[in-house]
Amino acid sequence: MFDQNDVPYKAAQKVDQYVVCKHDIGSLGQPRYVNLSTHLSADQSVEYCKLMKQFADVFAWEDSDLKTYNKKLIQHKIPLEKDAIPFKQKLRLINPMLLPLIEK
């Protein structure tokens, strides 16, 4: 992908293998859309939709769904040895030619 000077080789165009189709698993007044691959068979799509309808209450459909949460379930701790001092590495410059690729 890059030569020894961090210059990107010309990238070949990739065919999008992951084409998705929207499926509504909500009710008439409250649609809930999920994306499923178009590579699934019709039977598989139906089965996935049934499964997601059954467990639709576990998905966060809006930001307001995330307001209440159990901190014991999602609290993250980084284990450190006793007397260890955390440090932050300085930012490193990147090759300006790589910037469009990174932003993409």
- Number of other residues whose CB lies within 10 A of the CB of residue 25: 19
- Is residue 33 a part of any domain in this protein? yes
Tell me how far apart the alpha carbons of residues 32 and 60 are, in angstroms, rounded to a whole number.
Answer: 10
If phi > 0 it is left, if psi is from -120 to 50 it is alpha, else beta; for residue 78 that is: beta
pLDDT at 51: 93
- Is residue 53 a part of any domain in this protein? yes
User: pTM of this prediction?
Assistant: 0.47
- Is residue 20 a part of any domain in this protein? yes
- Is residue 77 a part of any domain in this protein? no
CA distances from residue 16 to 13, 55, 84 in whole angstroms, order as listed: 9, 29, 46
- Is residue 66 a part of any domain in this protein? no
- Is residue 39 a part of any domain in this protein? yes
pLDDT at 48: 92
Q: Which residue has the higher pLDDT, 36 or 2?
A: 36
- Is residue 70 a part of any domain in this protein? no
Domain that holds residue 55: 15-60
pLDDT tens figures, 17-54: 568 889 898 888 888 999 998 888 999 999 999 999 99
- Is residue 48 a part of any domain in this protein? yes
**Total number of domains constituting the chain:** 1
